[in-house]
Amino acid sequence: MGDALGVPVEFSSRAARAQDPVTGMRAYGTHHQPAGTWSDDASLTFCLAEAIAEGYAVRTLANNCLRWYEHGFWTPHGRVFDIGITTREALGQLKKSSPGACPLVGGRDEMSNGNGALMRILPLAFYRPEDALLARYTRLVEASAVTHGHVRSAIACFLYLELTGYLRAGLSPAQAYAKMCEQAPTQFTELGILAKEVNHFERLLSGQLVALPESTIQSSGYVVHTLEAALWYLLRYETYAATVLAAVNLGDDTDTTGAVVGGLAGLYYGEENIPAVWVKALARRADIEDLCRRASQSIVGAGAAPAPTAPARPVPNSY
């Protein structure tokens, strides 16, 4: 949903969004798509969910991503209209590799730290969340490395998924953020993550992110910026709609910022608090709901214990 809100205004400036803020689903715009159209962010998220539905393996995820790139698998209207540079390079390399080759072809250089892994990682929050720390981390490292092989992208995905776990356990955004900041240093030590990489998340993990002025929050394609922006808006706003719209109106990489914060806000506020008019406009809604059912059945069938359901939030009156 957050992705679809951001698609029509992707690459627009913050100043442009201040003059003409997004208030709901728009049509056309940057990519000339109908209202409710989602981009590569959601497509690759669905490729991961599809892999989970099939009995998760990283090779299945890689094959699904390649099917999306080559054949329009899990696109809203049958074709790919948006793809990040690092993702395109990785999938191009995967296309040329032999069927049995390692699918972890994502760039490992520092410039390969776009948000293309973070934007699609959310389904792993539901897959075997009861596993030990190292097992969870190893799984997400591999899932990230299909397109993004640098450890910084993996750390961002790890923090995001840890936060989703706290939200699923019923904590408020402020409580979940505080717990993430408290637990992360010990977890990094246990996982052997080097301090030089942890330092890139110092501002995020300071516990003081919410106190920063909005002017310091960036919405570029850099993975650290995207994670900071998602958390800042989750902590600052009190409804699903207000959270996601404010994040989209930050400008620049609007679809990915919207997608990442939308995942967190959706978990906390629940489907019942998403404006019905947005849900109605969403492309392939029935297919998405079917995918969710199939992935859920696969997870339960594999013996993974579902997390407790968070209490319902009041439906906002302003949307």
CA distance 275 to 277: 5
CA distance 8 to 10: 6
The mean predicted confidence, pLDDT, of the chain is 94
Residue that wins the pLDDT comparison between 308 and 82: 82
pLDDT at 40 over 90: yes
pLDDT at 28 over 70: yes
Backbone angles phi, psi at 217, to 5 degrees: -90, 125
pLDDT at position 191 is 98
CA distance 211 to 275: 29
pLDDT at 24 over 50: yes
* Contact by Cβ (8 Å): 26, 55: no
pLDDT at 90 over 60: yes
In terms of Cβ atoms closer than 10 Å to its own Cβ (0-12, 13-18, 19+), residue 89 is middle
% of the chain with per-residue pLDDT over 90 = 93
Backbone angles phi, psi at 306, to 5 degrees: -70, 145
**What would the 3-class secondary structure string for 225-277 be?**
HHHHHHHHHHHHCCCHHHHHHHHHCCCCCHHHHHHHHHHHHHHHHCHHHCCHH
Closest among 143, 159, 76, 84 to 115, alpha carbons compared: 84
Centre a 10 Å sphere on the Cβ of residue 304 and count the other Cβ atoms it contains: 17
pTM over 0.85: yes
pLDDT at position 284 is 98
pLDDT at 278 over 70: yes
pLDDT at position 98 is 85
Q: Bridge partners of 222?
A: 114
Give the pLDDT mean for 262-269. Answer: 98
Residues 6+ apart with CB under 8 A from 20: none
pLDDT at position 303 is 64
Residue 109 parent element (H or E):
none
CA distance 133 to 237: 31
Residues 6+ apart with CB under 8 A from 162: 180, 183, 184, 187
Give the pLDDT mean for 148-162. Answer: 98
- Distances, alpha carbon 118 to alpha carbons 13, 16, 136, in Å: 22, 26, 15
pLDDT at 175 over 70: yes
Q: Say yes or no: domain 2-14+35-301 is CATH 1.10.4080.10.
A: yes
The three-state secondary structure class of 181 is: helix
Backbone angles phi, psi at 114, to 5 degrees: -70, 180
pLDDT at 76 over 60: yes
